[in-house]
Amino acid sequence: MDWQIWLIVGVLLFILEIFTPTMFFINMAVGAMITAVPAFYELSFMYQVVCFGVVSALSFAFLRPLLLNKFNLGLMEKMDVHAKYIGAQAKTVTEVTNKSGRISVFGEEWDARVKDDETIPADCDVTITSAEGIIMFVKKLGEK
């Protein structure tokens, strides 16, 4: 009966990992699933706990870095859109102020703002200086 509990714990940890994609709970899930084998052969509970701890630690040390490289690098490249746009030249689609505005860069339109009280007219060339969330901050091309 112990082996079924270890399998249930493993499945629950896998489900928990789905909701918190940190690549942390998956290591304990692997440990629980593998610990089901000695539990099936009715080895002592102490051996099962040691097996769970050792397998989870080894999984954390070796499996987690592989999974982070496999999944997070692609995600981080997709999420780090700012690195692609900072310093790029764009064109204002609408008038850009410190409260509103739109720019076009790489064929995409983004919300834009200026950091001071300046107003940049529509159809003007600008440089993207920074970004906060989905808002790009711009300055007129050639300004410091």
pLDDT in tens, the chain (144 residues): 689 999 999 999 999 988 887 788 999 999 999 999 999 999 999 999 999 999 999 999 998 888 777 765 444 444 556 678 888 999 999 999 999 999 999 888 999 999 888 899 999 999 999 888 788 999 998 665
**What's the confidence (pLDDT) of residue 76?**
47
Is residue 104 a contact partner of residue 79, using CB atoms and an 8 Å limit?
no
What's the pLDDT at 73?
A: 47
**Cβ of 28: how many Cβ atoms within 10 Å?**
23
In angstroms, the Cα distances linking 80 to 66, 84, 141 are: 21, 8, 24
pLDDT for the residue 144:
55
Q: Show which of 62, 79, 96 is a domain's final residue.
A: 79
Residue 24: the pLDDT is 86
Structural element, H or E, at residue 12: helix 2-19
Token reading at 43: 């080895």
Residues 10 and 58 in one domain: yes
Residues 26 and 66 in one domain: yes
Q: Give me the domain span that covers residue 118.
A: 82-140
φ/ψ (deg, to 5) at 32: -65, -40
Let me know whether 56 and 10 are in one domain: yes
Do 48 and 9 share a domain, yes or no? yes
Number of domains in the chain: 2
